Amino acid sequence: MATLQKYNESNEVQRVRRYFSEDFKRKKVREIEQNLTTVTQISREYEVTTAAIYKWIFKFSAMRKKAIKLVIEAKSDTGKIAHLRQQVQEMERMVGQKQIMIDFLEKMIELAEKEYAIDIKKKFSSTPLSGSGSIAKRTKSK
């Protein structure tokens, strides 16, 4: 039968109980309030549960005492701006590709018109056909 001593010997790797000073906790809460870091980043870096960090925020937050709401996990503006810049670059790339395609097709039409001696592209500057005359000529004036 297993004894407590054998159990402790088999599980020699035990988590060391750590203590974070009050100054450390206040500093990390201040960083969160100033959007320098996030709860998840602190949690990963110092191997602390997010629940413990939220307790620190509840206890040490200056904004809580002033009754100001604090959004903890908001994306920073720089992250949003970087994402939007990336989207703009992608759109500019797509517009550039489309412009190249338009230029290519226009050149193909031009070459086809020369080769086959026909008017493929509609010319808007030409004179209208005889059947599309002005209505003013056919109306009686007073």
- Is the overall model pTM greater than 0.75, yes or no? no
pLDDT at 71 over 80: no
Has residue 137 got a pLDDT over 80? no
- Do residues 42 and 53 lie in contact, with contact meaning Cβ atoms separated by under 8 Å? yes
Residue 71 DSSP label:
-
Q: Which residue has the tokens 């990336």?
A: 86
Lowest-confidence segment of 22-26, 77-81, 93-97 by average pLDDT: 77-81
DSSP output for 11-60 = T---PPP----HHHHHHHHHHHHTTSS-HHHHHHHHT--HHHHHHHHHHH
Q: Which of 72, 50, 51 is nearest to 61 (CA)?
A: 72
Is 79 or 40 the better-scoring residue by pLDDT? 40
Could you report the per-residue pLDDT of 19-61, keeping only the tens digit for each?
A: 899 999 999 998 888 888 888 889 988 889 999 999 998 888 8
pLDDT tier, 117 (very low <50, low <70, confident <90, very high otherwise): confident
Tokens of 120: 């493929």
* pLDDT at residue 105, as a whole number: 93
pLDDT-based confidence at residue 126 (cuts at 50, 70, 90): low
List the chain domain ranges: 17-74, 75-121
Please say whether the beta carbons of 53 and 28 come within 8 A.
yes
